[in-house]
Amino acid sequence: MPKRLNFIDGEWVGATSGRTFQNVNPADTREVVAEYPLSDQAEAIAAIQAAARAFPGWRGTTAVARGRILSKASQLLEARKGELSEALTREEGKTLAESTGEVQRAIDIFRFFGGLSYTLGGQTIPHDLPNNLLYTARQPLGVVALITPWNFPIAIPAWKLAPALVAGNSVVLKPASQAPGMAAVAGDCRQLAGATTRRGRDAPRRPWPAVRRARPSRIRRGARRDPESGGGRRVRRLAGVARPARRRSARCR
């Protein structure tokens, strides 16, 4: 039985409490798919602090260099497509055909945003005075919290991660406890691809106290969860984040 860990500050670590939980195959509940840390507030705060430390270096990396890392991550995911599809089916319960399609979508998302890095930038605007220039520049928000659901356990994290990372944000990812395995494998690929951000996986299983304690930090500017869900509304209220616009994957000033 695989034993998964949290990825915090560039290291794979367990819960400080030592507690764990197991996920079973929904098609055969006799099979334990994997064991995960039962993380809590301590791991969430550690992940947020690590992401805050990593942010200046990641922000200072050019958009094109960040895009190359995402493109490399897509190649690594594609090389493991069969393995990931089978693992997704065993843990989350999709048919193998559906799992294969979802993994391919995640691959395509990372590849797309890797290419999009070449287009990131601001605008120059005409000025009515001579020898004057108006321009805009896009800046990353900082630490972005991503809390994702169980029904698309690799595609939705990819939808959130890729635009946030290519825009220069550092990320704390909390996947659904029902199917966190895909986030762990995707973290493996991004680490091998050379990403310098620090991500906390499955920290915590219940995120509300951690969000409340993290409120003074810049994480409040980028908390993301399904905006229509009760959990999403609670996260926004605790973090002081306004309701995000629909279909906006990454926010820049």
The pLDDT score that the predictor gives to residue 224 is: 53
Read off the pLDDT of residues 201-234 as tens digits, 9 standing for 90 and up.
433 333 333 333 444 444 545 555 555 455 566 6
pTM of the model: 0.77
Read off the pLDDT of residues 102-129 as tens digits, 9 standing for 90 and up.
999 999 999 999 999 999 988 888 888 8
Classify strands 143-147 and 170-174 as parallel, antiparallel or unpaired.
Answer: parallel
The pLDDT score that the predictor gives to residue 63 is: 94
Fold annotation for 6-119+138-239: Aldehyde Dehydrogenase; Chain A, domain 1 (3.40.605)
Q: How far is the C-alpha of 187 from the C-alpha of 199, rounded, in Å? A: 8
Read off the pLDDT of residues 149-197 as tens digits, 9 standing for 90 and up.
999 999 999 999 999 999 999 999 999 989 998 887 766 665 665 654 4
The pLDDT score that the predictor gives to residue 9 is: 86
The phi, psi pair for 11, rounded to 5°, reads -130, 150
Q: By mean pLDDT, which of 88-97, 130-139, 179-188 is the weakest?
A: 179-188
Q: Domain segments of the chain: what residues?
A: 6-119+138-239
- Mean pLDDT, rounded, of the chain: 80
At 24, which amino acid appears?
Answer: V
